[in-house]
Amino acid sequence: MAVGLDKIQPEKITQKEHFVVEGMDISGHWNRMFEQRVIWDYDVEQLERVTALPGGESLNWCYGCGKCTTVCPVDIVGDYSPRKIHRKTQTGIDLFTSPDLWLCTTCMNCLRVCPKEVNMIQIMPAVREQAVLVGNVPPELQKAFEDTAKHGNPLGQPQRKRADWVKKAGTPAPILKDLKRPVDILWYVGSYPSYHPRGIDAACAAARIFNALGVDFGILGVEEKDDGDSQRLAGEKGLFEMLAEQNIAAFNKYEWNRMVVTGPHEFNAFKNEYPKLGFQRPIAHYTRFLVEHLDKLKPMLKKPIDLKVTFHDPCYLGRHNGEYDAPRELLRAISGIELVEMGRCRENGYCCGGGGGGMWLDSFTKEHTQMRLSERRVREAVEYGADVLAVCCPFEVSRFEDAAKSTGNDKLIVRDILELLDESMRG
Amino acid sequence: MNIVVLIKQVPNLTDELDINSAGTDLDHDALQYVLNEWDEHALEEAVLAKEAAGGAVTVIGVDTTGELDGALHTALAKGADKAAKITGDYPRGADSHTQARLLADAIKGLSPDVVMTGVQAADDRDGQIGPMIAAHLDLPYVGVVTGVEVKGGQAFVRKEYAGGLMAEFEVALPVVIGVQAAHQPPRYAPVSKIRQMAKTAKIDEIAGGEAAGSGSTVRRMFKPESASHAEMWEGSPEEVAEKIAALIAEKGLLKRDA
């Protein structure tokens, strides 16, 4: 039986044999009608549990227009959207224990189109936090939380080896503790560029580019911790606060003018979340920073890359922070590249599936969708004839490379913009 | 029911381990500590037993690292009711004889019905804390346990034998149990709960006596010395495939059909 049918009250269903409306007799066999629908047929307790939470209030503002459903990246590969969440919760489904709780990637495309400003970026973390507090966490996500708490990074790699990638760069990346002098740029490297084999490739490329440009920079090395923001969005607010306190202490320990960040999630964290904890300093994502140095960088990009390249807008650089142009300007600066746009680009860019904790819910999400979001995205890149899928978020290189393999599109090359610049620069 | 869980911290094995300059121990200054994995299971099994049959869980350990508070706060966040630490002048990673004596003296006064601890720990691979405490307190001991149920003044304990065999024991209380694995994976303690515990919880401090010592000393600690090396082949998949084929032929590993 459909949800809610048991709540229909038979005495409210009436059939009038004779019925006169405004002097007109409209009696007939067809005029069986329900009285005005009483929406309180449903027990709204479940909805009220969500809206009672700080951050959960706006779920109640939904009026069911469904605009979010058309843009939700999860609905495109499954059966899920904010409007559906609202309706299900309204009809008595418990969001706190539902698998739906873990599918939102906080990509923000729903909020972009929502006329009522129902904010899933606040609702989902608020409900997830309650689930985490009572121990209801998918095991793979729990592992990422534990690894982050123990080792300062969600990959479970040793904290002591956070700067080991530098050995592979073939160029210096000085550590502030050893440098013992102020620097112009504090480069926050991030967990995936520090540890993930494909992330390290981007970190090495960045170090070579910064040095070629003569940037006076330093890194934190073992004093750097994961930013924790994706863990917060996945419901682990305490872990976020702990990491933020540790990072802020490390940031404040040294003298620097501006911070450059490899990843959009970290950029978003330091720009929009850390200020709530008292840290507010000039921050730039590497794409904007390099665009500022384009006059000097462009003549160094000697080797043409004669390929058709498409660019995947990271949700946390584009929609969350309004930066769409800097990555494209960098790609256009490389001669030979033919830049093609996918249908879902810029403000309506598709999500790779890695945000809001999705990075650590791969198997879980796969069980509840028809295909991974990253798989949908690489198919789109191939549909538009791209040879290269260019990215500028450290979550994406491995996600899309895996997706290219799992969908049989092995020929699609996935590269961070840093790698493409470095390749062109090195000739 | 009064359950006491014995815990200790061990070196974090994710980090590379260095030997100290004397060559007799790990370089403890270069280490991070984590809770012994088997103790995490002991704690989980204890909290599950409490949830099933009621009672209270007390967590206790010898603070040899100066950092035991963090582990105790985590245990409280996971559902333990009380926490205590034994303090004194002990070397980091003190031997199991010393810890067993100190723990036995401390838990006597707690009149436990069930004492649970990890069946072994990664640092000493000794597996003796449980049996020694049982001996000190003259209590029965069951080790390599994967499930505990307490009812009617008795513990029903599942023990894992080699070869995939299981046995169920009926033991009179009080009893000491060495836990191999809890019957559910250890639960997650949200950091906000741990931080709350760190602000509000009280950890009882027990002044411990002298270190008993184990009667043995480590003469030399060293990393495994490799006898031979693997050869890594580089090149394109085709080149590597050719080398593999040549090696198989050379060693006569595959026979061709006539």
Residue range A386-405: mean pLDDT, rounded: 97
* Sequence-ordered alpha helix ranges (H) in A293-352: 294-297, 325-332
Nearest to A149 among B15, B187, B191 (CB): B191
Residues A254 and A314 placed together within one structural domain of the fold: no
Q: Return d(Cα A327, Cα A344) in angstroms, integer.
A: 16
Q: Nearest chain B Cα to A156, which residue?
A: B14
Residues of chain A with Cβ-Cβ distance to B70 below 8 Å are: none
Q: Return d(Cα A55, Cα A121) in angstroms, integer.
A: 9
Residues A29 and A45 placed together within one structural domain of the fold: no
Residues A357 and A376 placed together within one structural domain of the fold: yes
> In the prediction, which pLDDT does B224 show?
86
Residue range B92-105: mean pLDDT, rounded: 95
ipTM: 0.76
**Torsions phi, psi for A325 (to 5 deg):** -90, -40
Residue range B78-95: mean pLDDT, rounded: 95
Token pair of A111 as six digits:
């909020």
Distance set, CA B195 to CA A50, B57, B72 (Å): 25, 20, 12
Nearest to A236 among B14, B185, B190 (CB): B190
Domain of B13, CATH number, reads 3.40.50.620
Three-state SS string over A63-130 comes to: CCCCHHHHHCHHHHCCCCCHHHHHHHHHCCCCCCCCHHHHCCCCCCHHHHHCCCCCCHHHHHHHHHHH
Is residue B242 a part of any domain in this protein?
no
Residues A15 and A75 placed together within one structural domain of the fold: no
Say if residues A110 and A68 touch (Cβ distance below 8 Å): yes
pLDDT at position A138 over 70: yes
> In the prediction, which pLDDT does A13 show?
54
pLDDT at position A382 over 90: yes
Domain of A190, CATH number, reads 3.40.50
Residues of chain A with Cβ-Cβ distance to B44 below 8 Å are: none
**Which of A130, A132, A225, A277 best probes binding to B when mutated, by most B CB atoms within 10 angstroms?**
A132
Residue range B209-226: mean pLDDT, rounded: 90
| Environment class of B124 (CB within 10 Å of its CB; exposed 0-12, middle 13-18, buried 19+) | middle
Domain of A129, CATH number, reads 1.10.1060.10
Is residue A152 a part of any domain in this protein?
no
The pLDDT tens digits of the residues spanning A287-297 come to 999 999 999 99
Give the distance from residue B190's alpha carbon to the nearest chain A alpha carbon, in angstroms. Answer: 6
Classify the C-alpha dihedral A366-A369-A371-A373 as positive or negative: negative
Nearest to A239 among B16, B185, B191 (CB): B191
Q: Nearest chain B Cα to A149, which residue?
A: B191
Is residue A138 a part of any domain in this protein?
no
Is residue A219 a part of any domain in this protein?
yes
pLDDT at position B176 over 60: yes
**Which of B12, B43, B192 best probes binding to A when mutated, by most A CB atoms within 10 angstroms?**
B192
Residues A397 and A273 placed together within one structural domain of the fold: no
Nearest to B188 among A142, A157, A159 (CB): A142
Q: A278-315: b or e for each residue (b if 16 or more CB lie within 10 Å)?
A: ebebebbbbbbbbbeeeeebeeebeeebebebbbbbbb
The pLDDT tens digits of the residues spanning A76-93 come to 999 999 999 999 999 889
List residues of B whose CB lies inside 8 A of any A CB. 12, 14-16, 32, 34, 185, 187-188, 190-195
Chain B contacts in chain A segment 201-260 (CB below 8 A): 236-239, 241-242
The pLDDT tens digits of the residues spanning A265-295 come to 999 999 999 999 999 999 999 999 999 999 9
What confidence tier does A17 reach under pLDDT thresholds 50, 70, 90? low
Of the candidates A79, A37, A85, which has an alpha carbon nearest to the alpha carbon of residue A62?
Answer: A85
Give the distance from residue A139's alpha carbon to the nearest chain B alpha carbon, in angstroms. Answer: 9
Say if residues A225 and A247 touch (Cβ distance below 8 Å): yes
Is residue B250 a part of any domain in this protein?
no
Residues A332 and A352 placed together within one structural domain of the fold: yes
Q: Nearest chain A Cα to B34, which residue?
A: A150
How many residues would you count in chain B? 258
The DSSP code sequence of chain B is: -EEEEE--EEE-TTSPP-B-TTSSSB-GGG--EEE-HHHHHHHHHHHHHHHHH--EEEEEEE-SSS-HHHHHHHHHHTT-SEEEEEESS--TT--HHHHHHHHHHHHHTT--SEEEEES--TTT----HHHHHHHHHT--EEEEEEEEEEETTEEEEEEEPGGG-EEEEEEESSEEEEES--SSPPPP--HHHHHHHHHH--EEEEE-------S-------PPPPSS-PPPP-S-HHHHHHHHHHHHHHHT-S----
> End of a domain among A227, A261, A292?
A292
Residues A314 and A337 placed together within one structural domain of the fold: yes
Residue range A157-174: mean pLDDT, rounded: 95
Domain of A367, CATH number, reads 3.40.50.10700
Prior bond to B174 cis, omega within 30?
Answer: yes
Chain B contacts in chain A segment 129-188 (CB below 8 A): 132-133, 135, 137, 139, 142, 145-146, 149-151, 156-161
Residues A193 and A283 placed together within one structural domain of the fold: yes
Q: Domain of B124? A: 2-207
Of the candidates A154, A321, A318, which has an alpha carbon nearest to the alpha carbon of residue A236?
Answer: A154
> In the prediction, which pLDDT does B137 show?
96
Beta strands B154-160 and B141-151 are antiparallel
| Environment class of A34 (CB within 10 Å of its CB; exposed 0-12, middle 13-18, buried 19+) | exposed
> In the prediction, which pLDDT does A1 show?
46
Residues A313 and A385 placed together within one structural domain of the fold: yes
The pLDDT tens digits of the residues spanning A125-136 come to 999 999 999 989
What confidence tier does B226 reach under pLDDT thresholds 50, 70, 90? confident
**Is there a contact between B190 and A160 if contact means CB atoms under 8 Å apart?**
no
Give the distance from residue B31's alpha carbon to the nearest chain A alpha carbon, in angstroms. Answer: 10
pLDDT at position A40 over 80: no
Is residue B253 a part of any domain in this protein?
no
Q: How distant is the alpha carbon of residue A80 from its chain centre?
A: 17
Count of CB atoms within 10 A of residue B160's CB? 17
3-state secondary structure of A57: helix
Query: Which residues are within 8 A (CB) of B126 and not within 5 positions of it... i.e. 6 or more apart?
Result: B95, B96, B120
Q: Return d(Cα B98, Cα B23) in angstroms, integer.
A: 22
Query: Which residues are within 8 A (CB) of A1 and not within 5 positions of it... i.e. 6 or more apart?
Result: none
Residue range A153-171: mean pLDDT, rounded: 95
Structural domains in chain B (count): 1
Q: A104-135: b or e for each residue (b if 16 or more CB lie within 10 Å)?
A: bbbbbbbbeebeeebbbbbbbbbbbbbbbbee
> End of a domain among A260, A292, A324?
A292
A252: left (phi over 0), alpha (psi -120 to 50) or beta: alpha
Percent of chain A exceeding pLDDT 70 equals 93
Residues A235 and A331 placed together within one structural domain of the fold: no
What confidence tier does B43 reach under pLDDT thresholds 50, 70, 90? very high
**Is there a contact between B14 and A158 if contact means CB atoms under 8 Å apart?**
yes
Structural domains in chain A (count): 4
**Is there a contact between A145 and B195 if contact means CB atoms under 8 Å apart?**
no
Q: Domain of A381? A: 297-426
Is residue B220 a part of any domain in this protein?
no
Is residue A339 a part of any domain in this protein?
yes
- Give me the total of CB pairs closer than 8 Å, taking one residue from chain A and one from chain B: 48
Is residue A139 a part of any domain in this protein?
no
Q: Model's pTM, two decimal places?
A: 0.85
Taking all residues of chain B, what is their mean pLDDT, rounded to a whole number?
93
Chain B contacts in chain A segment 93-132 (CB below 8 A): 132
Q: Nearest chain A Cα to B35, which residue?
A: A150
Q: Return d(Cα A114, Cα B29) in angstroms, integer.
A: 55
Residues of chain B with Cβ-Cβ distance to A132 below 8 Å are: 188, 190
Residue range A314-336: mean pLDDT, rounded: 98
Is residue A148 a part of any domain in this protein?
no
Residues A12 and A75 placed together within one structural domain of the fold: no
Say if residues B119 and B130 touch (Cβ distance below 8 Å): yes
> End of a domain among A292, A310, A331?
A292
**Is there a contact between A238 and B192 if contact means CB atoms under 8 Å apart?**
yes
E strand or H helix at A15, and its extent?
strand A13-15
The pLDDT tens digits of the residues spanning A47-82 come to 999 999 999 999 999 999 999 999 999 999 999 999
Q: How distant is the alpha carbon of residue B25 from its chain centre?
A: 19
Residue range A30-55: mean pLDDT, rounded: 75
Residues of chain A with Cβ-Cβ distance to B190 below 8 Å are: 132-133, 236, 238-239
Is residue A29 a part of any domain in this protein?
yes
Residues A417 and A304 placed together within one structural domain of the fold: yes
